[in-house]
Structure 1
């Protein structure tokens, strides 16, 4: 005996331009029937929150599945899976597609080569699935946008819930963020962690989906923007604060990555922010409390 609830959607061409669209959602539990062998033309995330079963890969290997776990079903790849016939399992699934799936795959949020992913917890992913299920009521005029937004949220929740992810964050990424404003090369950062540059690149790529240089640059430029907007520090002083001794190089780098020069960025933001300049440099780790 098993229980099942599911809805399927057909987003139009305009909604496809959102990058991600939800094609279906389901909640099931009990002695569910075996799925496949089959091949789909879109992605499916299957979250197993209780019970156990198996997953058979295209090469015939059979992998045990024990909750909490995630099954990645990817387009064009045959799959075959099911719960143990004795106890069954509890699952929720979301079908989705769109051009943003390529970027999420490149960043490591979707893992086509690891179809069975152990999870530490399923509360956050199931909450995202629940939002899709609630949005799926018939007649909801915001259906495609609400469900598409929730797919983005689901992918982030699944990334955080992976059992190989430290709940406190990746220590290598944390250390890089802490030292981001020091004028250190990638090789010097690697040496601080007892790693080779190649090992550091692999660790950052695995944790953040980018190179160490791009990871550090994003942090530096984000802080530079905060200082340009919230203070009257000269551009040269802002450059030094974020790790660049050469203000001309900083300005060229900022212009290339942001699309506008630091001085112009400050002018644009200054006109948009009421209240004028602050005499306090903002601390990104301790935002102010907003009272109502």
Structure 2
């Protein structure tokens, strides 16, 4: 099966495709699991692209590197690579990739909403080494793939429960930094807010429009997001705008004027001042430096910051 399909984004951004989840059993569950060959050629795509879904890749073999939001990590199997909606990633010079690819939509996690924040924490740590969790995770994924292929009675419940266990074990592998937020209204609202602004086009949201979409007042959003993340909603929006601008500068041929608009700025001159204040470089300087250079800390600094406090 080809579980992913490249489609233009709404208000398509040139040269930055959006992969949507296309599964063989969409009436049963928004989920797929299989090897790289089973999932399809897009599972090892070597060009920058986004997802509208979540992806967990269990890399068991191969050479090359995984690039996630400009962070370049050489492959060192066994490891997990977690990609969340809106992030830009690709496989650089990858050869003989082996392992399993797990694809799912947010709907598949309704029973464990805290896992959404955990996935964003994991996605901020590209190329997660598994340590003593390697064998349990490999066995768990093998069982999940068997459930998915054979579809015995109750397989949907088993897959949902197994995915939750997989996320918990991945957090254990990344401890102490991989620590989920405690459940509760501040953490839940903060997670919903960060997902909202992380979606393609999400950086156009203001604090007021975000509050309206989430069904709370701007003041309440301010209080709970600050309590849940240690950061203000405005600060998180600015960080996401900077990251989006970095993605587009590095991965497309859009002009600075076009990138300013995509990053939520009506005035290109103001965008340039904003970008320089946030990164220490003009957009043009950043675009020159990022070409083949994944070691300048100013390039990847924002991409590597998790959403938790």
- How high is the TM-score relative to the length of structure 2? 0.42
- How high is the TM-score relative to the length of structure 1? 0.44
Structure scoring higher RCO (CA < 8 A, sep ≥ 6) equals 2
Structure showing greater radius of gyration is 1
